[in-house]
Chains A and B, each alone.
Chain A
Amino acid sequence: MDLNPSEEQQQLIDAFAAFYAKECPVERVRAAEPSGHDAELWASLRAMGALEMAVDEESGGWGASLLDMALVAEQHGRHLGPAPLIEGQVAAKVLARTGGDAAAETLGRALGDDHLVTIALHPPQGGVLSLVPGGSVADEVVFFDHGRLKCMVVAERGRPVPNTGSMPLADVAVDPAAVELVSGAEAEGLFESARDEWLVLMANALVGVGARSLELGVDYAKERRAFGVPIGSFQAVAHGLADAATAVEGSKLLAREAAWSASEDAARATELACLSCGFSAEAAREASYRSLHYHGGYGFMLEFDIQLYFRRAKAWPAVFGEPSSMYARGAAERLSAARTDG
């Protein structure tokens, strides 16, 4: 067992931490509201190779592991990056894995041009892809529909959906001219893997959201005085922060294990993807709630940053579903493995 990132991984973390500190200070996050998209940040992320890393070398990328991507996602979450990084990476990854001319062309556009390709996390209902992440700024959407993995150009961008997390979401009408990439069991497998990858990366992003939320709360509890002492000396405050810190630390271990398992323990990869995202979502939500609450009335004011975290902790994972649905999905995996084992 070794829980330390490798030297290369530490360099990756340091590089992206420095990148976000420079390119994504909280003023930029605020400035990107309400659209939720900072086009300049997106361009810088692409220039950093954030999309290429997701794609294997034969398809023109660097073939980073999911764990490497998870370490970047954690930094993205810490800084509340207002750009559809995770969706963009997952879409690029699934296109590279799909193969075929149509997928290769879309991937080429995603990597080469200023062309944003995202992925819908759920099949369309009544001809509409609901709450597509990055959907209000995407040029193209990968989606799964009736046993087929498809890709469509967004001819006319839908109305952005106002939402809790200030994300660039849209309900996107399915274009009948959407191109089929692959069908049958292969398509379903590709889509499910993509969803697992999204869950793992989101779990790690939420670790960053939770960790930074906690820091904001702890810093405030050390500074703010009431009844003549810092409020962090009150157990009513300290214990809530201790519980949140424990859950966030746990979420970090689990989210990294989930990312690691994608290549090292494939039998548990789907289970851990689901469980880790559910757990990270709850840990981040609790940490941001506690921290906001301990800010007293200030936490309720837009001016204080904790509200930015509180809203995203709830909303980012909700694009996939509520934590219970992730837990249920993870349990289904475990039950099916247990049934096979007898």
Chain B
Amino acid sequence: MTMDFRLGEGSDALRDEARRFLDEQLTDDLREQMHRTGVHHDWDFHKARVESGMLAPGWPVEYGGQGRDALEVLAMAEEFQTAGAPTYGGSTTLMVANVIRHMGTEEQKRLIVPQALSGEIIIVLGFTEPEAGSDVAAAQARAVRDGDEWVINGQKMFTTNAQEADYVFLLTRTNPEVAKHKGLTTFLVPLRQPGVEIQPVFTVSGERTNLTFYSDVRVDDSLRIGEVDGGWEVMTVGLTFERSLPQGGDSRRLLRAMERWALTSVDDAGRPKSEDADVRARLGRAAAEIEVSTLLARRCAWVQNSGTLPGVEGSMAKLFATEALTRQSADFMDMLGPDGIRADGDPAAVAHGIAEYLYRFALGTTTYGGTSEIQRNIIAQRGLGLPRA
């Protein structure tokens, strides 16, 4: 074996398929709809993914997947992310389906997994609460047993796509008497039932998320995932499926737009912006960071392909790429001068105001999926061996 930075033929082929799919399915109308509603899920797009084998190509063939390896799946996912496709509903659904596949009962596997992979249902995440974010094990939403059922009361924050979804993967407290990690249980709670209230929450990026309320909501014990009070183990398994995510896609889309701007704009003296040393330095710095984000993410998939689960590698990839997007979007707004603040809808906005949009969008990326501070803790403790606070 020799060092090789190519992803491989299988990845190249799937990447090409993904590009063709996106050219066809990610229409201007769909982009406009995402922008208007702030919802990054679309049922037609989601079902088209299923039909084209673009939802779960990494799953085994018996589940309707193609048994693709992690680098092949990553190549596809890079394209979806770079294009800015609405994938969030699909991602959370697959993550939960994976948890069920590994820890669920036979009945759950038979009932839920085929519906998830066929695009009939989507599942959203219900971990975060108004008073529990990074300290996810501090969840207070209560589940109390009542015969074959459980009764749930509580609130969940940032239940994105709940208004579209069939189930929420809910982290609840079943035993308040023991240490916080030991009294948690996870359920797959049907969202369309009395007692569930979905309140929209609008964010600075324009994305719509939700606050969800659960008042005497009943869920059958057959929809409990994992052991009673074994919720933390379920969460740990769930998070291992999030370790080979694509990174840097939004930055890549941003950089391409800024490079096109540099090639087609001139300064007051009529000199092309592409000749300007300051413009070049900003573009080059972003290009270097994007290459690093891409490589750090690909390394995770490579580690996964070689049979081990990426750990610290995933934290580094997520931390670096999201912090880089935060810097780049601000820097490119500055590069565009006063026009940098022109937002989408203004005909003079550069590339539909992509820098301005991502400047706002980036704020979410350094928070969800584990804040930058949590990632740094993981890198410091597990990567560098520094002592815990």
Cβ–Cβ < 8 Å partners of B295 in chain A: 250, 253-254, 257
CA distance A34 to B375 in the complex (A): 41
Residue contact A218 to B386, C-beta cutoff 8 Å: yes
Residue contact B320 to A1, C-beta cutoff 8 Å: no
Residue contact B292 to A250, C-beta cutoff 8 Å: yes
**Known pairs A324-B285, A339-B263; A2 contacts B1 (CB<8 A):** yes
Residue contact B263 to A6, C-beta cutoff 8 Å: no
Q: List A1-18 residues whose CB lies under 8 Å from chain B.
A: 1-6, 9
Q: List A255-298 residues whose CB lies under 8 Å from chain B.
A: 256-257, 260-261, 264-265, 271-272, 274-276, 278-279
For B355-379 the 0/1 string (1 means CB < 8 A from A) is 0000000000000000001011101
**Min distance, Cβ A130 to any Cβ of chain B, angstroms:** 20
A338 interfacial contact with B, CB 8 Å = yes
Cβ–Cβ < 8 Å partners of B284 in chain A: 274-275, 278, 324, 326-331, 334
Cβ–Cβ < 8 Å partners of B279 in chain A: 331
B289 interfacial contact with A, CB 8 Å = yes
Residue contact B379 to A245, C-beta cutoff 8 Å: yes
B387 interfacial contact with A, CB 8 Å = yes
A234 interfacial contact with B, CB 8 Å = yes
A39 interfacial contact with B, CB 8 Å = no
Residue contact A335 to B1, C-beta cutoff 8 Å: no
Among the interface residues B295, B377, B381, B386, which one has the most CB atoms of the partner chain A within 10 A? B386
Cβ–Cβ < 8 Å partners of B302 in chain A: 1-3
B13 interfacial contact with A, CB 8 Å = no
Cβ–Cβ < 8 Å partners of A1 in chain B: 4-8, 71, 298, 301-302, 305
Residue contact A330 to B379, C-beta cutoff 8 Å: no
Partner pick for A242 among B274, B280, B281, B384, CB 8 A cutoff: B384
Cβ–Cβ < 8 Å partners of A245 in chain B: 316, 379, 383-384
**Known pairs A6-B1, A233-B389; A275 contacts B263 (CB<8 A):** no
**Min distance, Cβ A28 to any Cβ of chain B, angstroms:** 28
A230 interfacial contact with B, CB 8 Å = yes
Which 9 A-B residue pairs are closest in the complex by CB-CB distance?
A: A327-B284, A331-B284, A238-B380, A250-B292, A328-B280, A232-B386, A242-B379, A275-B288, A242-B376
A interface with B by C-beta (< 8 Å): 1-6, 9, 67, 218, 221-222, 229-230, 232-235, 237-239, 241-243, 245-247, 249-251, 253-254, 256-257, 260-261, 264-265, 271-272, 274-276, 278-279, 323-332, 334-335, 338-339
Q: List 13 A-B contacts (CB under 8 A).
A: A1-B6, A2-B4, A218-B384, A229-B387, A242-B375, A246-B379, A271-B287, A275-B287, A276-B288, A328-B281, A330-B288, A334-B259, A334-B287
